A and B are shown apart, each in its own frame.
Chain A
C-alpha cells in the first residue's frame, strides 16, 4: 500500500494539473453558461464523499462485529475525509446556486438532507474526540446510520420537488459523450477518487502511528 503512494500521488497531481485546461475547453451549458463549470469540482466532491461513506460503513461494521482495530482506523480516517469533501461540496454548491438560482441557499430536501448527512459525520468526529473510552463503538453506529441514510439523500431530488438538478443529469452526460461534458467530468471524478485514496492512505498512516504511541504509553505505564 505504501509503495503505491508515490506513483498514485504523481498520477493524481498530473490529473489535477490538466483538469483546469480540460474544464476551460469544455462547452458552456445553454442556460447556466460559465457558472456551470463549478459542476466539474462540485459533483466529484460528492463522489469522493460517497467513497468515504462506503469505506466508513464497511470499516465500522467490521469494527463492531469483528473488533478489528485496523478497520476502526479506516473508519475514522474515512469519516474525516467525508467531512472534508462534504465541506467542499457544501461551499461550491451555494456559489453555483447564487448565480444559477439567485440565492445562496434553499432549505429544500436535497440541500437540507445533504447538510444533515455532513453534520452527522461532524458529530462522529466529535464523539471520537470527546466521547471518552468506548466512544469508538458509538461512533461506528453513527457511521453506519449515516451511510444507511445517504442513498435517500442521493435520490431525494427524484422523489421531492426541489431546485437541485435530478440524478439523471450525470448518467445522461456519461451516456452522451458527444455533448463534450463527459470528458472533463470523468477526468475530475477520477482525480477526486484518486485524491480520496491518497488522503485515506495518509490519514490511516496517522491513525496507525497514534495507536502505536498509545501502545507505547501503556507499555511504559506497566
Chain B
C-alpha cells in the first residue's frame, strides 16, 4: 500500500510538452549521418546480386537433376 502510494507520488511520467518552440538550425547531434545510408545502399546491391545469382544457380541445378532423372527413367524403360 505504502509502496503503491510511493510509486503514485514520486514515479510520475514527465509532464507533456505545453508548446512547440521553433528552431531554425538543427543541432549537429540531430543531423542524419550519410555514411550508414550509403553503406546500406551498396550492401543492398551486393546482397541482391548474390541472391539473384544463387536463385538462378539453384534453378539450373534443379532442371539438370530433373533431366538426369528423366533420362535414367527412359533408359530403364528402354531395357
Contact = CB atoms under 8 A, between A and B. Distances in A.
Contacts of A166: none
B contact face: mostly helix, strand, loop, or mixed: helix
Nearest to A83: B52
Contact of A98 (B35, B37, B56, B63): B37
Contact of B40 (A95, A195, A206): A95
Interface in B22-53: 32, 34-35, 37-38, 40-42, 44-45, 48-49, 52-53
Nearest 8 interchain pairs by C-beta: A35-B34, A34-B34, A92-B41, A95-B41, A209-B63, A95-B37, A38-B41, A91-B44
28 contacts: A20-B42, A33-B34, A35-B34, A38-B38, A41-B41, A41-B42, A84-B48, A84-B52, A88-B45, A91-B48, A95-B41, A95-B44, A96-B37, A96-B41, A98-B37, A195-B49, A199-B52, A199-B53, A199-B56, A206-B56, A209-B60, A209-B63, A209-B67, A210-B63, A216-B71, A220-B70, A220-B73, A220-B74
